[in-house]
Amino acid sequence: MTGFALGVDQEEWCGQLRALAVQRLRPLAEKGEPGRVNRPLLAALGELGLLERVFASGALELCLLRESLAYGCTEAETALALQGLGAYPVLRAGSEEQRERWLPRVRTGRAVAAFALSEPGAGSDAAALALAATADPATAGGGWRLSGEKCWISNAPEADFYTVFARTGEGPGAKGVSAFLVPADRPGLSGAPLDMLSPHPIGSLAFDGVPVGPQDLLGEPGRGFRVAMDTLNLFRPSVGAFAVGMARAALDATLAYTADRTAFGGTLSDLQAVAHRVAEMATRTEAARLLVYAAAGAYDRGAGDVPRRAAMAKLLATETAQYVVDHAVQLHGAVALQRGHLLEHLYREVRAPRIYEGASEVQRTIIAKELYGAAVAGR
């Protein structure tokens, strides 16, 4: 893909999504409690068919969906994305029984999913996870007991099931990790909410000998890390789309404000310093958007360089969104710091995407590794 432009039908759909986010979803989001799962909001996403689109669409459509919702209602975007992140491993690697039991409920917003990868000592270095899956001879058919902790898990501890990655020991590092579908009511599983800057629910999980069997595996033993990486390769560009949606919302708010706000005998937009800053914000946002959709297109084509493109898209888009929102706050002044202002909300929302699903530093490491790997292979 050398360029990107939306078709007329796509533009219309995105416009409808932005309006839907403002008119239908934002009122439900505002009734929710920060740090808690908003089940009425999830039910509305299911009723509108938007959760279904997460699983039925490719990366490009997923990005359009996330960007458009983020523009009008970040809470709705995040609720939708977390359902996809938690349940996509079930779609990709789950058994027919697992898919039939859980995915219809996820699609309608009646079951809350969560992706449980990070641990207190294994955030950015996901291959270093320590949650132990110890063989349990007493389990019929051969099973395991999960012991350890997970931390910074979105939707925890309120999710109905967790996609859990644990060390089963078939090999060193990533080769010894398996993926399990663990229902929230499994004995020995407990959790606690974490009070975070981001308004969406995040918590920790404790596994005290939680029993899992072969029927709970997602894919094959020792192949769980591949399940995790395939999921992240799909969702990383769409994290970039989420960031672009926030950046575009901040940019449009800034354009409207600086065009109307009088100062020094004119409007703020008459000041070259202000106009040039807005131009920079717009240029960076457009560049990030193009990179996001190039990565999504590469994923949908099955290109071999998806990990590099996905990392580049997430890196540039999330760093750009931070820049744009920060400068939007600066140009608005004190009004943007008031609780309830769009930019005050975005300022809290925009920080986390630079960390979750691989921090910016991790994305740079992935990019460099892919570049040097390709260079060596080409010699």
Q: Is the Cβ–Cβ distance between 154 and 115 less than 8 Å? A: yes
How many other C-beta atoms can be found within 10 angstroms of the C-beta atom of residue 276?
Answer: 10
Residues 212 and 231 in one domain: no
Read off the pLDDT band of 277 (50, 70, 90): very high
pLDDT tens column, 52-93: 999 988 899 999 999 999 999 999 999 999 999 999 999 999
Angstrom distance (rounded) from CA 149 to CA 155: 15
Residues 85 and 145 in one domain: no
Domain range for 129 is 113-222
Q: Which of 5-14, 184-193, 216-225 has the lowest mean pLDDT?
A: 5-14
**Does residue 3 lie in a domain region?**
no
Residues 145 and 99 in one domain: no
Residues 21 and 88 in one domain: yes
The active-site residue, picked from 75, 77, 349, 357, is: 357
Q: Is the pLDDT of residue 125 over 70?
A: yes
Angstrom distance (rounded) from CA 63 to CA 249: 16
pTM score of the predicted model: 0.93
Residues 341 and 237 in one domain: yes
Does 157 sit behind a cis peptide bond, omega within 30 degrees of 0 on the bond before it?
yes
Residues 238 and 155 in one domain: no
Of 257, 250, 245, nearest in space to 281 by CA: 250
Domain count, the chain: 3
Residues 362 and 250 in one domain: yes
Residues 234 and 201 in one domain: no
30 belongs to the catalytic site: no
State which of 189, 222, 255 marks the end of a domain.
222
Residues 93 and 183 in one domain: no
